[in-house]
Structure 1
Amino acid sequence: MSRLSAGKTLLLLGVLVVVIMVGLHFSADDTDELTPFESTTRDVLSPVQRLVTVVGGKISDVVTFPARLYKVSEHNRQLEQQVVELQGKLSSYNEIRSENIRLKEQLEFKTSLADQMNTEAAEVIGRAADNWFGSAIINKGSASGIRRDMAVITPAGLVGRVTNVSDHTAEVLLITDPRSGVGCLVQENRAPGIVEGVSGGRGVVNMMHIPSDLAPKKGNRIVTSGFGSVFPKGIPVGTVRETRREESGLFKMAVLETFVDFNRLEEVLVVTSTNPDSAT
């Protein structure tokens, strides 16, 4: 060991001894008065004591930092989990709220039609991916009184008619399918015509065979005519978007915007019976 290192060691030991002796003296003395030596020693050692306190605090911070960092990380993870759970609950609440609004509208509509027709509420449980605007499957069948060729509606308007039935399900041919044909009237001028679906029309329907002298105007309302035994009279179908002449040149045709949003068809009403005397 070099002389310099030995000297530093002795100096540190000396300081340690002095500190210990002073500490013992302070702890052993019960008097309130400090001796000159005690006062001088305290004044001399106060910077060292302050330095030791600061360094000790920093060391404590360094030692405890990993634990505090882990606690913060764990707390953040818990908060993130709570956010995910709250977002899920909010989504469920919004879905339930939307469903309640739709069902309330459906109930009010059903009540308003009580003197005109009887209906059975049903949910849409299936749509064909390759023919989205062609047909839909509902969760009510013959066990609920559903029969073939019953009209299907919503509070917004006409949806289609039942084409086949099982005990607990039924298939509905939508008015947007090219195979569908519905006798209708222009509400404003009573012009007759047939509403047909358009192949690949993404929900578009046309009113065909309108007399040329009774061509409807843009915005005119189209309702069912009640001709035949399937669709009751006066059910809203849509509004006229544009009118043009048919290829034969003998009649006019109108492109309609349906009242029912067939992209978001979730609940429907099946018309199980009607009172013709109350129909409008």
Structure 2
Amino acid sequence: MSRMSGGKRLIFLAVLLIVILVGLHYSAGNVDRLTPLESALRETLAPVQRLAMVAGREVSGFVSAPARLIKVSRRNQALEERVEELEGKLAQYGEIKEENARLKELLAFKTNLASQLTTEAAAVIGRTPGNWFGSIIINKGAKDGIRRDMTVITPAGLVGRVMRVSDSTAEVLLITDPRSGVGGLVQETRAPGIVEGVAGGRGVLQMVHIPNDLAPDKGHGIITSGFGSVFPKGIPVGTVTEVRRERSGLFKMALVKSAVDFNRLEEVLVITSVNPGGSDNSRGG
């Protein structure tokens, strides 16, 4: 048995030597071509290599995907923050533009009335939610020369009069408040009357005690009369929208649409003095 095993070993070694020699022969004979053994191995391993390469790409993509997602998420967040910032700036620029337009209008109004009135510009900083058409708070007070009963206006017309004053603020009673009373004059008929706010009227005005023979028509303008009033003469108050007979039957009354939009009141002018040569210098109590 041992002799047969030894013979088999010799035969195996001989075959192996022949294979090696043949492989070396072909390899040495043409280095540009693969040996049959190399070719066979490559053909056998090619599908395995292809699968390994695809698997490698998938694994690489899977491993790097979270990093890419994090990067994209951060970029999206940065873009969203930038958009919000630009939208905020755009809104701010729009507000500044509107404020500049209003201030230019106030400046033009002051320039046109420079020969008649001295005014102080102020911003509305407070209103009473439960009494929106009653009074406002402005950011100018005693240290700015503001005093009680000074007239408050806008370029559109009459706003009201100063009621109370602190060092840096003032409370203004609006003409839409029922407590307010303004001596009025119908521009077209020169009919006198009293303009007052209507309780619960949400900014509605009415002119009462108008003589029957001088009753205004719809569309007629109402201005301040200046007679025995704290308000200078000639300031626009509003426009007549309807005329009625008073209950007494002795006078007419008119509903008046205010010249000022009290819902959008943001800046005002306080008349600090009426200069000589103006339309009316009367500022009686």
For the aligned pair, the TM-score class normalised by the smaller chain equals: 0.7 to 0.9
Within-5 A mapping of 1:17-166:
33-35=32-34, 37=36, 42=42, 45-166=45-166
CA deviation map 1:125-159 (0-9, x unaligned) = 22122222111121222222112111110111100
Matched, 1:194 2:194: yes
How many Å separate the matches in 1 of 2:255 and 2:148?
Answer: 28
Query: Counterpart of 1:7?
Result: none
AA in 1 matched with 2:266: E
In 2, Cα distance between equivalents of 1:185 and 1:230:
15
Distance 1:50 1:101 in 2: 73
Q: Aligned residues: percent identity?
A: 68
Q: Is the 8 A contact 2:178 2:196 kept in 1?
A: yes
Residues 45, 206 of structure 1: alpha-carbon distance in 2 compared, 3 angstrom cutoff: same
Which residue does 1:16 correspond to in 2?
A: none
Give the stretch that moved more between structures: 34-43 or 261-270.
34-43
Query: 1:198 Cα deviation (Å)?
Result: 0.9
The residue type paired with residue 275 of structure 1 is N
In the aligned structure 2, how far is the partner of 1:237 from the partner of 1:40?
Answer: 107
- Coordinate RMSD, CA, aligned: 2.2
- The 1:111–1:32 alpha-carbon spacing in structure 2 relative to 1, beyond 3 Å, is farther
Taking structure 1 as reference, are residues 36 and 112 closer, same or farther at Cα in structure 2, changes over 3 Å only? same
Q: CA deviation at 1:45?
A: 4.6
Q: How many angstroms apart in 1 are the aligned matches of 2:242 and 2:131?
A: 25
Distance 1:266 1:42, change over 3 A: same
* Structure ID, larger Rg: 2
Please give the alpha-carbon distance, in whole angstroms, between the structure 2 residues aligned to 1:244 and 1:52.
98
**TM value normalised by structure 1:** 0.82
Q: Could you tell me how far apart the structure 2 residues matched to 1:272 and 1:143 are?
A: 13
State the TM-score, normalizing by the size of structure 2.
0.81
Q: Deviations over 1:212-247 (max 9, x none)?
A: 222222222111112124111111111112111112
Q: Aligned equivalents of 2:242 and 2:42: distance in 1?
A: 101
In 2: Cα distance, 1:120 partner to 1:150 partner: 11
Q: Gaps (5+ residues) in structure 1? A: 1-28
Instruction: Tell me how far apart the structure 2 counterparts of residues 261 and 216 of structure 1 sit (CA, whole Å).
Output: 23
Structure 1 CA distance for aligned equivalents of residues 32 and 241 of structure 2: 104
Alignment match, 1:224? 224
Deviation string, structure 1 residues 159-217 (Cα, Å, up to 9, x no partner): 00112222222221110011111111122222211110111111111111112222222
Match of 2:259 in 1: 259
Could you say what secondary structure the match of 1:216 adopts?
Answer: coil
Question: Which secondary structure does the structure 2 equivalent of 1:71 belong to?
Answer: helix
Q: Distance in 2 between matches of 1:32 and 1:201?
A: 108
Q: What is the CA–CA distance in structure 2 between the aligned matches of 1:155 and 1:58, rounded to whole Å?
A: 73
Q: Secondary structure at the match of 2:100?
A: helix
CA distance in 2, matches of 1:214, 1:97: 45
SS at match of 1:61: helix
User: 1:106: how far off?
Assistant: 0.6
Partners of 1:229 and 1:189 in 2: CA distance? 20
Query: Does the alignment pair 1:176 with 2:176?
Result: yes
Between 76-85 and 113-122, the greater mean CA deviation after superposition? 76-85
**Larger deviation, residues 139-148 vs 105-114:** 139-148
Q: Which one-letter code corresponds to 2:161 in the other structure?
A: R
